[in-house]
């Protein structure tokens, strides 16, 4: 947006848009190249999933979040913070999201046969663009059927931005998926705009406290107050609450003392390949 403003301001004098601002040109080219590469990432099998544990009070792993990674042939690892927004803009997120979901569900199905893993929930991030596709529900159901993954173990992570527009449509889709057993978690909670009244009407199972509040918890009273309120809200709505971005014992102790019983963060394990999950070896 800032880019566009600059763009138009420069051109405005001559009543034309300049494509020759050199800095802009470089940035647009870099972006176009990244976008072209991203288009090839799926067919070239450059995407992979990492998994991060979610733990309960005594550190026992109760779930896992799947996080997509892009291994670019020249640039190395590109962060999802960089390519997911790009994929959302150009709709590639639909294909990428389907790949993520299918890969995750294949894993989930494998865990059923493994006593050390079959209790785990698997959380998958779903972007608003992907969720708003007309056939999203059918796609998820088809993937569950094809992979034979247990729907009750699948947790879709959605963000508050999903409910800014067409919220009744979003709710209806959630209800349909809920009928199949799929669970929902509200990711990055507290950073977006949520109508609390509407929250009550959504078939949610979990609130995820955004990591920015957890990070500042011990140094900033406002963050501490927000976290305490989210925990209280979750309790009164009968939702599970997970704190994300837990990095220190002190943060975990504070959270535990305030009634939060699920944690995710570097303290318990960084996202990594499946084999690195802190779980007993597969039997
Ligand atoms: P998110 O879903 O909120 O995921 C949590 C992010 O926090 C992850 O970043 C994770 O690596 C990071 N994290 C976990 N514990 C800690 C901690 O203790 N400290 C710090 N500083 N960070 C921690 P990541 O993997 O870079 O992903 C960033 C975002 O990209 C995700 O945020 C999610 O919004 C999006 N994303 C990732 N994978 C997917 C995907 O498959 N589909 C979609 N639509 N979005 C995805
Ligand atoms: Mg997430
Ligand atoms: Mg989050
Ligand atoms: Mg996030």
User: What is the ipTM score, two decimals?
Assistant: 0.98
Burial grade of 105 (CB within 10 A; 0-12, 13-18, 19 or more): buried
Cα of 283 vs centre of ligand 2, distance in Å, is 29
> If phi over 0 gives left and psi between -120 and 50 gives alpha, with beta otherwise, what is residue 281?
beta
CB distance 265 to ligand 1 below 6 Å: yes
Any ligand 1 atom below 6 A from CB of 188: yes
Q: What percent of the chain has pLDDT over 70?
A: 93
Query: Which ligand is the nearest neighbour of the Cα of 157?
Result: 2
Q: CA-CA-CA-CA torsion for 170, 210, 260, 122, nearest 10 degrees?
A: 60
Cβ of 84 less than 6 Å from ligand 1: yes
d(CA 65, CA 185): 11
User: Are residues 151 and 173 in contact, defined by beta-carbon separation less than 8 angstroms?
Assistant: no
How far from each other are the two terminal CA atoms of the chain, in whole angstroms?
53
pLDDT bracket for residue 192 (50, 70, 90):
confident
- Angle of CA points 138, 152, 101, to nearest 5°: 50
Residue nearest to atom 33 of ligand 1 (CA): 125
- What one-character DSSP code corresponds to residue 224? H
What confidence score (pLDDT) does residue 281 get?
Answer: 80
Cβ atoms of 25 and 242 closer than 8 Å: no
Q: Average of pLDDT values for 180-205?
A: 92
What is the tens place of the pLDDT at every residue in 199-225?
Answer: 899 999 999 999 999 999 999 999 999
Regarding the beta carbon of 125 and ligand 1, being less than 6 Å apart is answered yes
Condensed to tens digits (0 to 9), the pLDDT of residues 138-174 reads 999 999 999 999 999 999 999 999 998 899 999 999 9
Ligand 2 centre to CA of 26 (Å) is: 32
* For residue 4, pLDDT beyond 80: no
pTM of the model: 0.92
Q: Does 240 contact ligand 1 (Cβ within 6 A)?
A: no
């Amino acid at each position: 947006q800032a880019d566009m403003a600059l763009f138009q301001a420069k051109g405005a004098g001559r009543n034309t848009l300049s494509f020759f601002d050199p800095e802009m040109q470089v940035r647009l080219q870099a972006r176009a190249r990244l976008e072209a590469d991203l288009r090839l990432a799926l067919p070239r099998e450059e995407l992979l999933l990492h998994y991060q544990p979610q733990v309960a009070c005594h550190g026992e792993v109760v779930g896992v979040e799947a996080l997509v990674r892009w291994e670019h042939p020249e640039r190395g690892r590109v962060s999802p913070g960089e390519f997911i927004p790009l994929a959302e803009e150009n709709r590639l997120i639909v294909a990428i999201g389907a790949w993520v979901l299918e890969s995750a569900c294949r894993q989930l199905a494998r865990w059923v046969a493994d006593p050390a893993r079959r209790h785990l929930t698997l959380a998958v991030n779903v972007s608003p663009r992907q969720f708003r596709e007309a056939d999203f529900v059918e796609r998820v159901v088809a993937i569950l059927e094809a992979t034979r993954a247990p729907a009750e173990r699948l947790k879709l992570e959605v963000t508050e931005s999903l409910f800014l527009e067409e919220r009744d449509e979003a709710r209806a889709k959630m209800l349909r998926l809920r009928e199949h057993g799929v669970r929902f978690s509200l990711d990055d909670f507290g950073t977006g705009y949520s109508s609390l009244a509407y929250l009550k009407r959504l078939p949610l199972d979990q609130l995820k406290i955004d990591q920015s509040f957890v990070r500042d918890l011990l140094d900033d009273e406002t963050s501490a107050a927000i976290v305490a309120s989210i925990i209280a809200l979750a309790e009164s709505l009968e939702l599970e609450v997970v704190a994300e971005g837990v990095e220190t014992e002190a943060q975990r102790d504070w959270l535990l003392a305030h009634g939060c019983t699920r944690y995710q963060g570097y303290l318990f394990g960084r996202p990594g390949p499946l084999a690195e999950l802190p779980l007993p070896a597969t039997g």
